[in-house]
């Protein structure tokens, strides 16, 4: 605590040097999290599912809502020019539509679909355990 604050406190309370009663625990409870903050936590796990992130790159992978998954990749090239790509995977019936930067649309299949499925299953297992502390198989809270 700064000396100025200590001095001001002792002037106000009349107690010199004893500031223990206003000390708060270091691990102060956090506020409840918003949906965006929870998604950010999930994305911390999601970004690591596809291997190491190269220097100068930033990656996010997360579940946006019940039908949408987002992959965001940001990098800086040798000339210092930033490049960012957002890929949206959207469940549409029995297909997955892939939309890149809102420009190109296609339905994914084959190996790409298999890879995405595996990534999402890993995401689910790790997010359920690491963020929500729940058993991925049963959905129940882990003790």
Question: Which residues bind to another protein, rule: CB under 8 A?
Answer: 1, 22-24, 26-35, 37-42, 44-45, 63, 65-69, 89, 91, 94-96, 109, 113-114, 116-117, 120-121, 123-124, 127-128, 130-134, 139
CA angle 107, 64, 111 (to 5 degrees): 30
Q: How far apart are CA 49 and CA 45, in angstroms?
A: 7
Measured CA distances, 65 to 28, 38, 97 (Å): 30, 12, 15
**Smallest distance, another protein to C-beta of residue 137, A:** 11
**Smallest distance, another protein to C-beta of residue 72, A:** 15
Judged by beta carbon, residue 94 or residue 103, the one nearer another protein is 94
**Smallest distance, another protein to C-beta of residue 85, A:** 21
């Amino acid at each position: 605590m700064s000396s100025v604050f200590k001095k001001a406190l002792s002037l106000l309370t009349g107690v010199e040097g004893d500031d223990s009663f206003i000390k708060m625990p270091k691990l102060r409870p956090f506020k409840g999290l918003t949906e965006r903050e929870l998604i950010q936590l999930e994305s911390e796990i999601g970004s690591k599912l596809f291997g190491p992130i190269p220097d100068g790159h930033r990656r996010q992978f997360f579940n946006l809502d019940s039908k949408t998954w987002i992959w965001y990749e940001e990098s800086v090239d040798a000339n210092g020019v930033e490049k960012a790509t957002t890929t949206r995977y959207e469940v549409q019936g029995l297909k997955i539509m892939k939309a890149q930067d809102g420009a190109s649309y296609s339905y994914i299949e084959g190996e790409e679909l298999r890879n995405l499925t595996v990534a999402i299953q890993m995401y689910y297992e790790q997010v359920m355990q690491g963020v929500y502390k729940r058993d991925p198989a049963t959905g129940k809270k882990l003790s």
